[in-house]
Amino acid sequence: MRAIQRDERLVMNDPGNIQVRVNGKEREVRSGLSVHELVESFDLNPLLIVVELNREILNRDQFKDVEISDGDAVELVHFVGGG
Amino acid sequence: MEPLRIADQEFESRLFVGTGKYADNDTMMEALRASGTAMVTVSVRRVDLDRTQSEGILFHLDPDEFFLLPNTAGCYTAEDAIRYARLARAAGFNEWLKLEVIGDEATLVPDTQATLEAAQTLVDEGFKVMAYTNDDLITALRLEDVGCVAVMPLASPIGSGLGIVNPYFIREIKRRCEVPIIVDAGVGTASDACVAMEQGVDGVLMNTAIAAAEDPVAMAHAMRLATQAGRLAYVAGRMEAREIAVPSSPTRGMLD
């Protein structure tokens, strides 16, 4: 939650906000937020992550055009160490 | 040593190394370099949005230095493995995949039926699938039939360090399949890697044996030499083993 609270685009308890599930955790974000803005709100480099929105993988060139909707499930994934 | 060709790629090393379980990223990078590996495995996981864990591995690992082989570790169904595979490809590095569908939590042995099912779908989608499987000949042949670019039978369970428990079937899989055979999982120390390569397989993949060694960098170096030694010994063609002594020195010309 640290990243969200720091970001002025994501105002908590605003009636214009929507509920989304990001990486399995419920979060409140501003209505009309783009995927790109969501990714940036967590200080993530869009080039190093992959976004799945409601089980559909988004191309990176869609990040700025796709808006998050109320009830969406977003997964932000990347590569970690593994065998 | 002759390079290893898998599909359209050539690899200078026959040792493939996983990137999990290292104490820290500097040790991992030093170990990867000491191993001489050309291809390393990585896993797809959620970003930790609270940053309590370390950041993604690509902050440390340069995809230009090591060919990335994403895995589907942790997946227990074909559907999950396919989902993780697609996410891995969307990262934008390559279409290669270490397919792994686990069937049992205690032994982490693969669910071969689900592996075959996922392999079929992913090959059809254009993935270059290197399939982790049991030391089972029929499954290996079927994985080859569906178009996997390599078949990777286990030496023994993942992380067990027990070495090759069934060398006969590893040899048989190698003898019967045309695609490269990589022994994956179960290597514990250098002699295990060497014995694996002496069976005639094309390569060996390991993670824990290096990462969990007391000195991972030194063990990585040992694994590099053992993999090379095993390959060279196989190519050289070993003498026939026999349960009788035969003198190495001339029996004639002895003094009275």
List pLDDT tens digits, range B132-187. Answer: 999 999 999 999 999 999 999 999 999 999 999 999 999 999 999 999 999 999 99
Q: What are the strands, taking DSSP E only, across chain B? A: 4-6, 9-11, 15-18, 39-46, 67-71, 96-99, 128-133, 150-153, 182-184, 203-206
Please answer whether residues A66 and A51 qualify as being in contact, where contact means their C-beta atoms are separated by less than 8 angstroms: no
Please answer whether residues A50 and A63 qualify as being in contact, where contact means their C-beta atoms are separated by less than 8 angstroms: no
What is the Cα–Cα distance from B185 to B201, expressed in whole angstroms?
A: 14
pLDDT band for position B56 (50/70/90)?
confident
pLDDT above 90: percentage of residues in chain A:
73
Among B43, B58, B185, beta carbon nearest to A82: B43
What is the Cα–Cα distance from B76 to B240, expressed in whole angstroms?
A: 43
Residue B218: CB atoms within 10 Å = 13
Per-residue pLDDT, averaged over B48-70, amounts to 86
Specify the pLDDT at position A6.
Answer: 46
Whether residue A11 is predicted with pLDDT greater than 80 in this model: the reply is no
Please answer whether residues A1 and A34 qualify as being in contact, where contact means their C-beta atoms are separated by less than 8 angstroms: no
pLDDT above 90: percentage of residues in chain B:
93
Whether residue A9 is predicted with pLDDT greater than 70 in this model: the reply is no
User: H or E element: which one contains B73?
Assistant: none
User: H or E element: which one contains A32?
Assistant: none
pLDDT band for position B130 (50/70/90)?
very high
Residue B36: CB atoms within 10 Å = 18
Question: How far apart, in Å, are the Cα atoms of B242 and each of A16, B239, B245, B246?
Answer: 83, 9, 8, 9
Whether residue A34 is predicted with pLDDT greater than 50 in this model: the reply is yes
Please answer whether residues A41 and A3 qualify as being in contact, where contact means their C-beta atoms are separated by less than 8 angstroms: yes
Whether residue B249 is predicted with pLDDT greater than 80 in this model: the reply is yes
Prediction ipTM score: 0.90
What is the Cα–Cα distance from B100 to A63, expressed in whole angstroms?
A: 30
What is the Cα–Cα distance from B183 to B92, expressed in whole angstroms?
A: 27
Spatial CB neighbours of B5, under 8 Å, sequence gap ≥ 6:
B11, B180
CB pairs under 8 A between A and B: 96
Q: Which residues of B touch A55 (CB under 8 A)?
A: 83
> Is B98 tagged catalytic?
yes
Q: What is the pTM of this model?
A: 0.91
Whether residue B54 is predicted with pLDDT greater than 80 in this model: the reply is no
Nearest to A39 by CA among A9, A11, A79, A82: A9
**Mean pLDDT over the full length of chain A:** 87
Task: Take residue B98 and report the two structure tokens written for it.
Answer: 């270490």
Top-confidence residue, B250 or A8: B250
Q: Do A81 and B20 touch (CB under 8 A)?
A: yes
Task: Take residue B153 and report the two structure tokens written for it.
Answer: 């039978």
Q: Which residues of A touch B18 (CB under 8 A)?
A: 81-83
Lowest mean pLDDT, pick from A7-11, B116-120, B237-241: A7-11
The chain A residue lying nearest B17, using CA atoms, is A83
Distance of CA B247 to the CA centre of its chain: 40
What letter represents residue A14's amino acid? D
Specify the pLDDT at position A2.
Answer: 42
Nearest to B83 by CA among A52, A20, A59, A47: A52
What is the Cα–Cα distance from B153 to B130, expressed in whole angstroms?
A: 10
What is the Cα–Cα distance from B54 to B63, expressed in whole angstroms?
A: 19
Top-confidence residue, B129 or A5: B129
| pLDDT digit string, tens, across residues B204-221 | 999 999 999 999 999 999
Whether residue B188 is predicted with pLDDT greater than 60 in this model: the reply is yes
Which of B15, B27, B39, B46 is the best residue to mutate to test the A interface, defined by the most A CB atoms within 10 Å of its own CB?
B46
Task: Take residue A54 and report the two structure tokens written for it.
Answer: 């409601």
Nearest to B42 by CA among B30, B52, B53, B28: B28
Q: Do B46 and A49 touch (CB under 8 A)?
A: no
| pLDDT digit string, tens, across residues A44-59 | 988 889 999 999 999 9
Whether residue B250 is predicted with pLDDT greater than 70 in this model: the reply is yes
The chain B residue lying nearest A59, using CA atoms, is B90
